[in-house]
């Protein structure tokens, strides 16, 4: 009986699979160019599905797809943020023969083989939100360069401290001392600081992506530097931790916290005045620009080496190297934070 069962199921599989061989993709090919009226499919892969940050990116992407017409947008990603699952999804879309896969890689090295294979099979691959291995993608939709973020952080702090010549001691709470993004931002923060000669950077402390540790570090900083006027908390985990420390110490108004995070994480601190400004980029626009760039690639409006790309309501966006720059830092304050729900 067992043998019969095995033979039967194997035979059934074989018959079914060979009766009409259909291969959506075969062999290596170059990406096909699509006429303006031909329908294209764009897959948008977030690091983790279900995070408000990525959901708001997807809202922007959907808006762009609707405006463009003839664009089918698939938004899917691992709900547990697992890179293996993300790679499997890229495999699947490659087999389906979609036109563009836009990836926010949660682990560039795990995704690289799948992304390269997609390109070999004639699918356009771009990255957005976070970059991947350069040879695995054609363009990177970069929400903000390290320079823009670094400068914006320092400028925001200076503006919020007020006065023609903002002065005082400031400190940085970073993610980890080896975090590539944060180190890049700090490089430009230090480049920008001399613009405000009376701002003095007294310390750089890691918080190891741990909110409790960020809370402690902020407390220690306030004790060690009684004249501290400002804290830059430059990770989405460190920011709420530092804000909570300042709030509990009753130093609201005398120590200013600023940094990068999402509106939802910081809303209560912005409302109660502990935090004046939250620096981020417009996530809706990031999704919107990604879809426009993807569409432009398939319609041959965007080619390697291009210097700019048209992006609907955002106008013309600059391209530096293979980075498509969104380039507008968004600062959330008491006045506008309720317009952003993520």
Partner 1 sequence: MDKGRDWIAEFRYWHESILAALLIALLVAARLADPPFFSIVVQTELSTHVWELALLALPMTMIIITSGIDLSVGAMMALCAVILGLSYEAGISPWVGAWLALLTGVAAGAINGVFVAWVRVHPLIVTLATLAAYRGIAEGISLARPISGFPESFAVVGRGNILGMPIPGAIFAVAVLLAAVALARTPFGRSLYAIGNNEAASRFSGIPVTRIKMWIYTISGAAAALAAILFVARRNTAKADIGIGMELDVITAVVLGGTSIFGGRGRILGTVLGVLLIHETREFVSWKWDKDELNLIVIGALLIVSVLLNSFFSQREAE
Residue 2 or 30 having the CB closest to partner 1 = 2
* Shortest Å, Cβ 17 to partner 1: 6
The C-alpha atoms of residue 34 and residue 302 are separated, in whole angstroms, by 12
Q: Which two tokens stand for residue 319?
A: 């391209």
The C-alpha atoms of residue 206 and residue 112 are separated, in whole angstroms, by 30
Of 60, 78, 259, 287, the one binding partner 1 by CB under 8 A: 78
Which three-class secondary structure state does DSSP give residue 256? strand
Of 50, 134, 163, 253, the one binding partner 1 by CB under 8 A: 50
Residue 12 or 320 having the CB closest to partner 1 = 12
- Per CB under 8 A, which region of 28-36, 52-60, 110-118, 228-236 contacts partner 1? 110-118
Residue 76 or 220 having the CB closest to partner 1 = 76
Establish if 28 lies at the interface with partner 1 (CB under 8 A): no
String of contacts with partner 1 for each residue 245-284, x by CB under 8 A: ----------------------------------------
Establish if 85 lies at the interface with partner 1 (CB under 8 A): yes
- Per CB under 8 A, which region of 58-66, 75-83, 149-157, 308-316 contacts partner 1? 75-83
List C-alpha distances in Å: 250 to 135, 153, 204, 234, 237: 51, 24, 23, 22, 21
String of contacts with partner 1 for each residue 111-150, x by CB under 8 A: -xx-------------------------------------
The C-alpha atoms of residue 280 and residue 233 are separated, in whole angstroms, by 13
Establish if 110 lies at the interface with partner 1 (CB under 8 A): yes
Of 84, 135, 272, 338, the one binding partner 1 by CB under 8 A: 84
- Per CB under 8 A, which region of 79-87, 189-197, 243-251, 276-284 contacts partner 1? 79-87
For 277-342, the DSSP string reads: EEEEE-HHHHHHHHHHHHHHHHTTSS-TT-SEEE-GGG-EEEEETTEEE---EEEE-TTTGGG---
The C-alpha atoms of residue 107 and residue 269 are separated, in whole angstroms, by 32
Region 166-225 residues binding partner 1, contact defined as CB under 8 A: none
b or e along 101-134 (b: 16 or more beta carbons within 10 Å of the residue's beta carbon)? Answer: bbbbbbbbeebbebbbbbbebbbbbbbbbbbbee
The C-alpha atoms of residue 263 and residue 108 are separated, in whole angstroms, by 27
* Shortest Å, Cβ 273 to partner 1: 37
């Amino acid at each position: 009986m067992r043998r019969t069962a095995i033979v039967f199921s194997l035979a059934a599989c074989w018959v079914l699979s060979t009766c009409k061989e259909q291969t959506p993709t075969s062999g290596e090919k170059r990406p096909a160019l699509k006429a303006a009226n031909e329908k294209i499919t764009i897959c948008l892969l977030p690091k983790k599905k279900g995070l408000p940050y990525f959901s708001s990116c997807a809202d922007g992407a959907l808006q762009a797809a609707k405006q463009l017409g003839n664009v089918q947008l698939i938004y899917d990603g691992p709900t547990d943020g697992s890179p293996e699952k993300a790679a499997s999804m890229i495999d699947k879309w490659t087999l389906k023969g979609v036109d563009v896969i836009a990836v926010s890689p949660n682990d560039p090295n795990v995704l690289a083989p799948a992304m390269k294979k997609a390109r070999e099979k004639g699918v356009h691959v771009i990255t957005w939100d976070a970059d991947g291995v350069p040879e695995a993608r054609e363009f990177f939709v970069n929400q903000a360069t390290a320079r823009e973020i670094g400068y914006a952080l320092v400028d925001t702090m200076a503006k919020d401290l007020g006065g023609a010549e903002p002065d005082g001691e400031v400190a940085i709470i970073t993610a980890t001392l080896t975090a590539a993004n944060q180190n890049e931002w700090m490089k430009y923060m230090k480049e920008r600081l001399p613009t405000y000669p009376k701002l003095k950077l007294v310390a750089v402390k890691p918080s190891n992506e741990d909110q409790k540790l960020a809370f402690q570090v902020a407390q220690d900083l306030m004790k060690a530097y009684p004249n501290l006027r400002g804290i830059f908390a430059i990770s989405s985990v460190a920011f709420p931790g530092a804000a909570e420390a300042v709030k509990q110490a009753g130093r609201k108004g005398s120590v200013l916290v600023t940094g990068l995070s999402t509106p939802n994480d910081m809303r209560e601190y912005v409302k109660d005045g502990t935090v004046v400004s939250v620096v981020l980029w417009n996530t809706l626009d990031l999704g919107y620009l990604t879809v426009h760039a993807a569409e432009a690639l398939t319609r041959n409006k965007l080619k390697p080496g291009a210097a700019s790309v048209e992006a609907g309501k955002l106008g013309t966006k600059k391209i530096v190297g293979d980075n498509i720059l969104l380039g507008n830092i968004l600062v959330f304050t008491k006045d506008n934070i309720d317009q952003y729900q993520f």
